[in-house]
Amino acid sequence: MIVPPSDQEPIGTNSRVPSHRSWRGWTRTRIVQLAAVVAATGVVATIVVLFVRPVGTQFPWHTHIVSTTFWVGEVFDPTAADGSQVLSTYNSLWIQSFGGCDGVLTDGSCQTEQRSGVNGFFPSQMTPKENPFYLDLPFDDVHDQTALSMRQKVIPWAGEPDYAAPAGDPTASLMKNRWVRIRANGQTCYGQIEDAGPGSYHDSSYVFGSNDQRPENRKFNGAGMDVSPALNGCLHFTDVNGEADTVDWQFLAASDVPAGPWTAIVTTSGTR
């Protein structure tokens, strides 16, 4: 009997769990080796391979990535096609779906605010209808035609049963609502993807690459992620709206997300 090496660990900051691909490779290799022994010796044998599925799926980490902050209702450049967070690429009525400005209204303008763990980093002047722990990554798999054309090849979960229906629907996103684990300043927080950017919209090498590639975007100090005010506060960013903070991040399955303020409200809505 051949049993795969026992190197599984609980999913955590320092754990390293092999990917499904590496475990499949281990199984194939051992079967081929045992088959060769049987063929060479003429011994009839029963080969039993215990395939131990890792707990969760360990996606690669992306390290030291500049992150800026954005928020529902922000308008940072009214002349740019992507200069408003009143809507997102996945939700044309984002501000309505969210419940209003994710911040404070000052002279009719939606501005960000410092967040506190006292109230779970939620906004101080409104009650959100969707998860205030949100972010974006530079891969728009609905409106960017390059990203749309490659998404079934590059998005790791595109072949999972839960994504079979949306994968065949070009108006549905495989990215929206996906969970991401983020580390910065000794903190680990979690958020859901609700928009695409910054500055680039089909950067598959960075978003899905396994070699810690740098973002292709050169705007906003080369940022590779925008995070919400809730994540900004949770991660102890140095500036409520700056371009100097950096993070490490990785995708993870919803089943691997621990309870926390980020699960008080979970966004489940589709594209609109």
Q: Domain 62-263: what homologous superfamily?
A: RlpA-like domain (2.40.40.10)
Nearest partner of 202 among 237, 222, 182, 175, judged by Cα: 175
pLDDT tops 60 at residue 42: no
Cα(248)–Cα(265) distance, integer angstroms:
24
What is the mean predicted confidence (pLDDT) over 128-145? 98
Residue 66 to residue 61: CA distance in whole angstroms: 14
| 198 prior amide bond cis, ω within 30 | yes
Residue 18 has pLDDT above 80, yes or no: no
The type of residue at 116 is S
What distance in Å separates the CA atoms of residue 37 and residue 123, rounded to the nearest whole number?
Answer: 65
- 159 band by pLDDT with thresholds 50, 70 and 90: very high
Does the pLDDT at position 151 exceed 60?
A: yes
Percent of the chain with pLDDT strictly greater than 70: 76
How sure is the predictor about 265, in pLDDT bands with cuts at 50, 70 and 90?
very high
Q: Judging by beta carbons within 10 Å of its beta carbon (0-12, 13-18, 19+), is residue 188 exposed, middle or buried?
A: middle
What is residue 81's predicted lDDT score, i.e. its pLDDT? 62
198-235 in b/e form (b: 16+ CB < 10 A) is bbbbbbbebbbeeeebebebeebeebbbbbbbbbbbbb
Mean pLDDT of the chain: 83
In this prediction, residue 187 carries a pLDDT of: 98
When pLDDT is cut at 50, 70 and 90, the band that residue 80 belongs to is: low
Selected residue with higher pLDDT from 116 and 17 = 116
Q: How far is CA 207 from CA 122, 133, 198, 250, in A?
A: 27, 19, 12, 9
Least confident span in 40-49, 109-118, 146-155, 240-249: 40-49
For 2-16, 80-94, 182-196, 204-218, which range has the lowest pLDDT when averaged over its residues?
2-16
Q: For residue range 198-214, list pLDDT tens digits in order.
A: 999 999 999 999 999 99
Q: What integer is the mean pLDDT of 143-171?
A: 94
Please check the confidence at residue 74 and state whether its pLDDT lies above 50.
yes
Mean pLDDT of 140-147: 98
pTM confidence score: 0.79
Q: What's the CA gap between 240 and 108, in Å, rounded?
A: 20
CA–CA distance, 209 with 202 (Å, rounded to integer) = 12
Q: Alpha carbon 29 to chain centroid distance? A: 32
| Mean pLDDT value of segment 237-264 | 97
Provide mean pLDDT across the span 164-193: 96
